[in-house]
A and B are shown apart, each in its own frame.
Chain A
């Protein structure tokens, strides 16, 4: 069959499609994106593919080294801890608690925080001013400290951790979206749209939202990293998830005293945290740059 496409058709990409095209040229970014998708899939289907149930303890295999070390066994691919729990299964379950928990919290605070931010940004005068100064006060407290304060009121526990992180992230989103909407409102194309007789809702839909995607992306990735760090930090301090739950930070603190005897029990959950945060940041920064480049 003859090739019809003799002349190269000129394709007009929308700015977002163009940004995606630019992102695809970024090799490290694409590797990180695939890794992130892998972690996401692992989070969703983890319980079905983990080799052992979450509370499975094998007393005959305490502190087994990872399988590639001399005394390791392939049944326990990443080795076991002092109670004979398989580390691979624990880390896979932990992905749900640490990464999945952070993901859900960020999604919820993104929705609620941006809604408040948009309402605040579109309004003016007293209403906006109150929101503005209230948020300034909240933002002056570091998110981990804020989370610890909330935990100290609610008491330790995994669910309370998520709640605390959610409440700590909320002002971050609201503030960023508020600023972005406010800056956007004063631009000339918004004034032009208003002169056309557009309603505020239409201005928001066609004028503002498409132009603040960059804020959403950078803010979401930043929030995701800080949520993971906060959840693991609270777990490590013993304020978050408690031990039967294989939350990565909790796993770290639980095996700290074994660090000379069985270093893999500390290293591997730590590596999981490190790698997850690294790929989120690479993807976030890559997307942000691609979106900014796609604008002009």
Chain B
């Protein structure tokens, strides 16, 4: 199968100034390469500070990578602007309370990517918005609501709808489940799996909870200090971890389960 996304030697480093002349280069993540097939889910795990969030941000264009290429269907996206990129790859942020504009109606939040990237008429856009809302388990009436009227689980559904509305090939989710409580979390996981099955979308999940990762992902990347230390099919990696970092992550979370 041809991969929908192939990342080649992508890296990001910051330059930090100390005083007037001395500079220090800080690496967010070293050159990384991986591929993702259509309809599959890739999980990126690692400790905090391992560069997994930076990698997710570089993929969607929030930060510009220092080097390397991001190819979607063979087209390099790294040098494209947001407009060309957002129809292919979309991002869901960690905290739904800050990722939705508190002064915009849900309908307008969802309509804004359509307005900027498609040539649809007003009615067609309304239909697309209400379709997207129903797809994530909300009602058409929610388009009139403001974000403060929704619970955080509902807000995260709106964020998912915003990612879905342009019918992208890949959705990058940066720890979307971290701020939700357990019951809402499992609802959202099921929703994501349903959407993925229906539309054949590839997901990249930045996650911490290995139980969820095992449940939803096909491939896994373990990162440590900006490097990929282990990668492969999720079941294999988690059942038989080779690298000490992976073993440590697993051990850490098993201790949590036992308590």
Contacts and interface: CB of A to CB of B under 8 A. Distances in A.
A14 B146 contact: yes
Contact of B82 (A187, A197, A202, A211): A197
B98 A195 contact: no
B151 interface: no
Nearest to A294: B148
Contacts of B85: 195
B173 to A, nearest CB: 13
Contacts of A207: 101
Given A188-B95, A295-B148, A196 B102 contact: no
Interface string B97-115: 0111111110010001100
A296 B86 CA distance: 30
A75 interface: no
Interface residues of B, number: 31
Interface in A190-214: 191-198, 202, 206-207, 210-211
Interface in B160-193: 162
Nearest to A295: B102
B20 interface: no
Contacts of A196: 82, 86, 112-113, 116-117
B203 interface: no
Nearest to B63: A191
Nearest to B117: A197
B112 A195 contact: no
Contact of B99 (A189, A206, A211): A189
B251 interface: no
Nearest to A209: B103
Interface string B19-39: 000000000000000000000
B91 interface: yes
Nearest to A191: B62
A93 B177 CA distance: 64
B101 A206 contact: yes
14 contacts: A12-B149, A15-B148, A191-B93, A194-B82, A195-B82, A196-B82, A197-B83, A197-B116, A198-B112, A198-B116, A211-B102, A295-B102, A296-B102, A296-B148
Interface of B: 60-62, 81-83, 85-86, 90-91, 93, 95, 98-105, 108, 112-113, 116-117, 144-146, 148-149, 162
